[in-house]
Amino acid sequence: MRFSHRTSYGPETCALVAALLNGTIGVLTRVGFDQGATPAMIAFWKCFGAFLLVCALCACRRQLTTQTISLAKRWPQFACLSFLGIFGLYYFETKAFAQASIPLVSFLTYAAGGATIALSGLLLGETITRRKVIAFAAIVLGVGLMSLFEHAVTGSLSGIALALAGGCGYALFIFLSKWFRIGAGLPQLVWLFGFGSVFLLMPLVNEGFAIPDGFTWITLCGLVLLPTIGGFYFTTRAVAGGQASKVQIIETSDPLFATGFGFLLFGDRLSHAGMLGAACIAAGLLIAVWHRPDR
């Protein structure tokens, strides 16, 4: 009994690690743009690179190879999830970064996560408690404060629409991952990144297929290892072992970590409003992961 109480924090921890890793997306994407990469190029190559790496890891172990092959019968579900959570998020979010400021894109992407909470309550039977609502509201308020007052918040209507589309796609990905019960692990990532690479190849070919060069590969390696493989691995782990609504709430804290990386790499500092926003996000996280002790 004591063991199960300790492990009850597993999904929340995985979601928090996923948020930490996803917080590197904006910074690394910004570096990639400065190196001359286009949104379609970054979106495809980070996904295809992740696909090649997880394929190699699965090929090294017979058990993982067998599990990967056994998932073939569920290809329609993986195709659907890849279209929403990989093509939808990677393509639209990366394209939005080129048309709107990073804080605005980050805010709109994760504010759309409220759809996961609503769908989880309506269709998955997850209880939407007052604590969940307060936690999500506190995090969204904090993200909003950081987005509005930390940097110049600019963006075209198309940039705003792209950010919302990416956020809705990711919200549906989290919900449907729980609905389909796809599980978590490297074999699942092979199928997700495989279909994602096919979908993301289309806009790259339409733009003019190009292979990155120079230091862009270093940036892409960072995107492959941190938010792509790491982020999706821990997200699927969290969804498989916990509630989709709580995973979405915790991962909404992504901008807090993105701001931290921005400070470390670019020297971006928080204003008083930004510090208040960070405090709201931290409070929302504490509320979300807090467990009431058994009586």
Q: Given this model, what pLDDT does residue 30 score?
A: 84
Q: pLDDT in tens for each of the 295 residues of the chain? A: 333 333 345 888 899 899 899 888 888 988 999 999 999 999 999 999 999 999 999 999 999 999 999 999 999 999 999 999 999 988 998 888 778 776 677 777 877 777 788 888 888 888 888 888 898 888 888 877 776 665 555 567 787 888 889 989 999 999 999 999 999 999 999 999 999 999 999 999 999 999 998 899 999 999 999 999 999 999 999 999 889 888 988 888 887 787 777 677 666 566 677 778 878 888 888 888 775 544 4
Helix or strand (DSSP H, E) at 161? helix 157-180
Per-residue pLDDT tens digits for 206-216: 999 999 988 99
Q: Which of 50, 7, 17 is nearest to 224 (CA)?
A: 50
Q: Given this model, what pLDDT does residue 85 score?
A: 93
- Bridge partners, residue 100, by sequence: 155
Q: At which residue do the structure tokens 């990711």 appear?
A: 170
Q: Given this model, what pLDDT does residue 100 score?
A: 74
Per-residue pLDDT tens digits for 17-36: 998 998 888 889 889 999 99
Q: Which of 80, 81, 107, 79 is nearest to 93 (CA)?
A: 107
Q: At which residue do the structure tokens 């996803």 appear?
A: 22
Cβ atoms < 10 Å from Cβ of 39: 24
Tokens of residue 247, six digits: 């995973």
Gyration radius (Cα) of the chain, Å: 18
User: Euclidean distance between the first and final Cα of the chain, in Å?
Assistant: 13
The Cα–Cα gap between 44 and 91 comes to 8
